[in-house]
A and B are shown apart, each in its own frame.
Chain A
Amino acid sequence: MRGLLLGVLTALVPEHWIGDLEEEAVEEGDWWLARHVMLAALYGVRMRLARTNFLESSAAAALLAGLPLVGALALRRLVLTLIPFRESAAYSWWAVAAFMILTAGLGLGLTNALGRRRVAVLLGTAVTLAIVLLLEAPIVLTVAAFAGGWAATIRRRGEMG
């Protein structure tokens, strides 16, 4: 269990971080280790994003924006098959509005995570657009994702912590 937890980190954080966790894990419980491995992974990903170059950032942006968006769209399709009156125009607009908020929030988190890299977010969104179009999803969702990310980029002025 412990080996698996630490193994997850191998690709995400420098080796001395893992060594430190392994050293402390001797006197700590599994829950402590799981919590610290998760947090260390998040710090590691953020540090890598802050250091990576333009193309890597774009790929990360596509991954971060694309996968949750595609997942959300799949969920929406599932919900539409379960709810009666699914052809209702009002419901459809509410669904679109909800997903616009979701994708705008996603864009905000994404832009922060990438340290305000506007062009990277733009390219990432373009890749997301391609994914969404391939799945024949509504284009408005991707436009909302980009608009959210762009608005967050313009709004945010602070440095990464």
Chain B
Amino acid sequence: MPKGDAIGGFEQLVLLALAHLGEDAYGVSIRKEIAARTGRDVNIGAVYTTLDRLEGKGLAVSVIGEPTAERGGRAKRLFRLTGAGRTALEESCRAVVGMMKGLGWGEA
């Protein structure tokens, strides 16, 4: 992967949320997934700014969904991981796990 395409810490969290959520990944569900798993209350703007960047890198793609009443008639923008996104995420997670080995943090 070229240096400019390396994924950052928050990008990694968002990609992991996409991987967990599958077909139902949009702003609210991604925000909630990150909050539930990390305890971080992130802003919707941070999530979408990151998703736009990931889309620019070809690691995620989006489609506009149907408008719904509970959203004031506004449509969702649904995201999913691309093949390149999954590969980048796996590499990134492997690197983190590799770096943590031997530290004794969270190891059974």
Q: Using a CB–CB distance below 8 Å, which chain A residues touch chain B?
A: 6, 13-24, 26, 36, 39-44, 46-47
Contact = CB atoms under 8 A, between A and B. Distances in A.
Interface of B: 26-28, 31, 43-46, 48-49, 52, 64, 70-72, 74-77
Main secondary structure of the interface of B (DSSP, over half): helix
Main secondary structure of the interface of A (DSSP, over half): helix
Nearest to B47: A20
B72 A16 contact: no
19 contacts: A6-B72, A14-B48, A14-B77, A16-B26, A17-B45, A19-B72, A19-B74, A19-B76, A20-B26, A20-B28, A21-B44, A22-B70, A22-B72, A22-B74, A23-B71, A39-B43, A39-B46, A41-B45, A44-B45
Contacts, number: 65
B74 A16 contact: yes
B45 A39 contact: yes
Given A17-B45, A39-B45, 8 more contacts: A16-B48, A18-B72, A20-B44, A20-B71, A23-B71, A40-B44, A41-B45, A44-B45
Given A16-B27, A16-B75, A23 B49 contact: no
